[in-house]
Amino acid sequence: MNFLEYLNSNIVFLDGGMGTLLQSRGLKAGEYPERWNITHSDIIIDIHKSYYDAGSNVVCTNTFGANILKFDEIELEDIVKNAIANARKAAETSLSNKQKFVALDIGPSGKLLKPLGDLDFEDAVDVFAKTVKLGVKYGADLVIIETMNDSYETKAALLAAKENSSLPVIVSNAYGEDGKLMTGATPSAMVALIEGMGADALGANCSLGPEQLRNVAVELINNASVPVILKPNAGLPRIEDGKTVFDITPEEFADEVCTLVKMGVRVVGGCCGTTPEYIKLLEEKIKDLSPIPIIDKNKTVVSSYTHTVEFGKQPILIGERINPTGKKRFKQALLENDMDYILTEGVNQQEKGVHILDVNVGLPDINEVEMLKNAVCELQTVTNLPLQIDTANPLAMESAIRRYNGKAMINSVNGKKESMEAVFPLVKKYGGLVVALTLDEDGIPETAEGRVAVAEKILETAEVYGISKKDIIFDTLAMTVSADNNAAFATLKSLNYIKNNIGCHTSLGVSNVSFGLPYRDAINGVFFSLCLENGLSAAIMNPYSADMMKTYYAFRALKGLDENCADYIANSETFATTVNTPIAQTQKTPEEYGSELQKAIAKGLKDKAADLTKALLETIEPLDIVNNEVIPALNKVGIGFENKTVYLPQLLMSAEAAKSSFEVIKAYMSNGEKTANKGIVVIATVHGDIHDIGKNIVKMLLENYGFNVVDLGKDVPPETVLGKVVETKAPLAVLSALMTTTVPAMEETIKLLKNDAPWCKVVVGGAVLTQDYADKINADKYAKDAMEAVRYAEEVMKF
Partner 1 sequence: MSIVLTKSFKEPPFCKKEILRYAGCKTIDSNIEELLNSCIKEAEKRFTYKVCYTQLDLNISDDVCDFGLFSVKSEGLAANLRNCKKAILCGATVGVEIDRFISKYSRISPSKAIMFQAIGTERIEKLCDAFCDDFEKENGVFLKPRFSPGYSDLSLTTQKELFRILDCPKNIGVSLSDNMLMSPSKAVTFFCGITDSTDKVVLNKCSHCSKHDCQFRGKI
Q: Is 540 helix (H, G, I), strand (E, B) or coil?
A: strand
Query: 600 φ, ψ to 5°?
Result: -60, -40
**Nearest 5°: CA angle at 177, between 173 and 183?**
50
| Cβ closest to partner 1, residue 738 vs residue 760 | 738
| Cβ closest to partner 1, residue 94 vs residue 109 | 109
Q: Which of 63, 149, 164, 438 binds partner 1 (CB under 8 A)?
A: 149
Q: What is the dihedral of CA 214, 217, 219, 221, to 10 degrees?
A: -140
| Cβ closest to partner 1, residue 244 vs residue 480 | 244
Q: Cβ 700 to partner 1, closest distance in Å?
A: 6
Q: At what angle do helices 520-533 and 546-558 cross, to 10 degrees?
A: 30
- Site residues (CB under 8 A) for partner 1, limited to 342-361: 343-344, 347
Q: Cβ 349 to partner 1, closest distance in Å?
A: 13
Q: Which of 1, 73, 238, 463 binds partner 1 (CB under 8 A)?
A: 238
Residue 574 makes contact with partner 1 by CB under 8 A: no
Q: Which of 72, 74, 97, 239 binds partner 1 (CB under 8 A)?
A: 239
| Cβ closest to partner 1, residue 105 vs residue 150 | 150
Q: Would residue 556 be called left, alpha or beta, if left means φ above 0 and alpha means ψ between -120 and 50 degrees?
A: alpha
Q: Which of 72, 95, 97, 177 binds partner 1 (CB under 8 A)?
A: 177
Binding segment toward partner 1, per CB under 8 A, in 142-150, 402-410, 437-445, 775-783: 142-150
- Site residues (CB under 8 A) for partner 1, limited to 489-548: none
- Site residues (CB under 8 A) for partner 1, limited to 711-770: 738-742
302-332 in b/e form (b: 16+ CB < 10 A) is bbbbbbbbbbbebbbbbbbbbbbeeeebbbb
Q: Cβ 162 to partner 1, closest distance in Å?
A: 24
Q: Which of 61, 172, 183, 419 binds partner 1 (CB under 8 A)?
A: 183
Paired residues of 455 in beta bridges: none
- Site residues (CB under 8 A) for partner 1, limited to 616-675: 647-650, 652-653, 655-656
3-state helix, strand, coil in the chain (%, to 5): 50, 15, 35
Residue 377 makes contact with partner 1 by CB under 8 A: no
| Cβ closest to partner 1, residue 319 vs residue 688 | 688
Q: Cβ 689 to partner 1, closest distance in Å?
A: 7
Question: Measured between alpha carbons, how far apart are the two ends of the chain, in Å?
Answer: 79
| Cβ closest to partner 1, residue 217 vs residue 737 | 737
Instruction: List Cα–Cα distances, 447 to 384, 493, 534, in angstroms.
Output: 39, 9, 16
Residue 592 makes contact with partner 1 by CB under 8 A: no
Q: Cβ 633 to partner 1, closest distance in Å?
A: 15
| Cβ closest to partner 1, residue 184 vs residue 535 | 184
Q: Cβ 705 to partner 1, closest distance in Å?
A: 15
Q: How many angstroms separate the CA atoms of 100 and 52, rounded?
A: 7
Residue 1 makes contact with partner 1 by CB under 8 A: no
Residue 176 makes contact with partner 1 by CB under 8 A: yes
575 Cβ contact partners less than 8 Å away, ≥ 6 residues apart: 546, 549, 550, 553
Element spanning 704, H or E = helix 693-704
Q: How many angstroms separate the CA atoms of 477 and 455, rounded?
A: 12
- Pairing of the two strands 301-303 and 308-310: antiparallel
| Cβ closest to partner 1, residue 114 vs residue 761 | 114
Element spanning 12, H or E = strand 12-13
Element spanning 435, H or E = strand 433-437
**Runs of H (alpha helix) within 415-519:** 417-430, 448-464, 487-497
Q: Cβ 692 to partner 1, closest distance in Å?
A: 6
CB-based contact 248:210 (threshold 8 Å)? yes
Residue 22 makes contact with partner 1 by CB under 8 A: no
| Cβ closest to partner 1, residue 178 vs residue 573 | 178
| Cβ closest to partner 1, residue 108 vs residue 718 | 108
Residue 381 makes contact with partner 1 by CB under 8 A: yes
Query: 684 φ, ψ to 5°?
Result: -160, 150
Of the candidates 253, 254, 314, the residue with the CA atom closest to the CA atom of residue 283: 254
Residue 412, preceding peptide bond in cis (omega within 30° of 0) = yes
Q: How many angstroms separate the CA atoms of 697 and 454, rounded?
A: 52
- Site residues (CB under 8 A) for partner 1, limited to 686-705: 688-693, 696-697, 700
Show the binding pattern over residues 93-132: x = contacts partner 1 (CB under 8 A), - = does not: --------------xx-xxx--xxxxx-------------
Instruction: List Cα–Cα distances, 571 to 539, 546, 583, 798, in angstroms.
Output: 19, 11, 25, 51
| Cβ closest to partner 1, residue 119 vs residue 261 | 119
601 HSE (CA, 13 A, CB side): 30
Q: How many angstroms separate the CA atoms of 565 and 185, rounded?
A: 29
| Cβ closest to partner 1, residue 432 vs residue 543 | 543
| Cβ closest to partner 1, residue 237 vs residue 632 | 237
Looking at residue 197, the DSSP 8-state letter turns out to be T
Q: Cβ 494 to partner 1, closest distance in Å?
A: 40
Residue 576 makes contact with partner 1 by CB under 8 A: no
Residue 303 makes contact with partner 1 by CB under 8 A: no
Residue 364 makes contact with partner 1 by CB under 8 A: no
| Cβ closest to partner 1, residue 395 vs residue 639 | 639
| Cβ closest to partner 1, residue 22 vs residue 763 | 22
Residue 23 makes contact with partner 1 by CB under 8 A: yes
Q: How many angstroms separate the CA atoms of 756 and 760, rounded?
A: 9
**Runs of H (alpha helix) within 197-338:** 214-223, 250-262, 276-286, 328-335
Number of residues that bind partner 1 (CB under 8 A): 63
Instruction: Give the residues lining the site for partner 1 (CB under 8 A).
Output: 23, 28-30, 107-108, 110-112, 115-119, 147, 149-150, 176-178, 182-184, 237-239, 242-244, 339-340, 343-344, 347, 378, 381-383, 603-605, 647-650, 652-653, 655-656, 688-693, 696-697, 700, 738-742
